[in-house]
Amino acid sequence: MKTTIAIVDDHELMAKALSGLVQKLEDYEVLYEALNGKELIKRIKLNQIPQVVLLDINMPEMDGFETALWLKNNYPEIKILALSMNNKEESIVGMLRNGARGYLLKDCKPFELKQALDAIVQKGYYYTEFVTGQLIKSLNPETLQDPVDKLHLSEREKEFIKWACSDLTYTQIADKMCAGVRTVDGYRESVFLKMNVKTRVGMAIEAVRLKIVEV
């Protein structure tokens, strides 16, 4: 029985290339390709449940961080292999914290992809030396820094985040902050950029994870 795989990547050319590589592997088959997390969730809710998800990070609608966390909370048996061009420590640690079983850079060799898939299926995880090094670095007390401090959020941006995690509209948030709508739009764009998220939901998830807001 072949291991079924879903590929989630908003770059169709990359998704097709990955699909072609996986289909050539004897023990694996691609169940489907999805352009983002929302599309993946729709497929899963239609009972199209893969055993492994190859998951990109930067995607519209619902990015890799949100998608991984949703899978972790709802389908923890699905194994996630993050596949990204992003080699930043916070991205790697964030994805692993959100449930990814491994992290692979997109410029890897085809045999590395097979190694990663084999390891995740057989051992349950796949960590390269690079990823292990980043994890150790993130846990080293000498280099440990408050993740909120690393974002360099201003007090007004933190205030915006707290209001944005409520059910208020952006216009209502502007009223609460005694600021113009354009100013609030500026806070939103800045916060999204600093937190590396694309949506208000993604920002809220990060804010809760970082304990900027409490639930």
pLDDT tens digits for 159-214? 999 999 999 999 999 999 999 999 999 999 999 998 999 999 989 988 888 888 87
Boundary-marking domain end, from 80, 109, 139: 139
CATH number of the domain within which 111 lies: 3.40.50.2300
Inside any domain, residue 214? no
Same domain, 131 and 151: no
What is the model's pLDDT at position 152? Answer: 85
Boundary-marking domain end, from 88, 109, 139: 139
Amino acid at 153: L
Inside any domain, residue 106? yes
pLDDT tens digits for 19-54? 999 999 999 999 999 999 999 999 999 999 999 999
Q: Which residue range(s) make up the domain with 161?
A: 147-209
Boundary-marking domain end, from 110, 139, 168: 139
> Rounded to an integer, what distance in angstroms lies between the CA atom of residue 101 and that of residue 45?
22
> Rounded to an integer, what distance in angstroms lies between the CA atom of residue 87 and that of residue 68?
17
Domains: count for the chain: 2
Inside any domain, residue 48? yes
pTM above 0.75, yes or no: no
